[in-house]
Amino acid sequence: MLRIKAERLKRGWRQEDLGFYARMAGADVSRIETGRLQPYPTQVARLAKALGLKPEELLEEVGVHAGTQAS
């Protein structure tokens, strides 16, 4: 799971809430979280800003640190 969903859930936000803060449709947040939509760099930047993270942090998988691979 990408960190986007984990960070959203940590805040108790619905997909629609994150979409509001990131200025995008909640349906797009859903598609990004499930991998059905490859986000544009501008979307990643808006999601990261809404969550208070750097864009590169946002795309990390939960439980996997940067520079390491999942086994």
Contact 17, 7 (CB under 8 A): no
Contact 15, 26 (CB under 8 A): yes
Report which residue type is found at 26. Answer: G
pLDDT of 14-70, one tens digit each?
Answer: 999 999 999 999 999 999 999 999 999 999 999 999 999 999 888 777 664 444 444
pLDDT band at 71 (very low <50, low <70, confident <90, very high): very low
- The residue extents of the domains of the chain are 3-58
| pLDDT in the model for residue 64 | 46
| pLDDT in the model for residue 10 | 96
| pLDDT in the model for residue 15 | 98
Class (C level, CATH) for 3-58? mainly alpha
| Buried-exposed string 12-28: b where 16+ CB fall within 10 A, e elsewhere | ebebeebbebbebeeeb
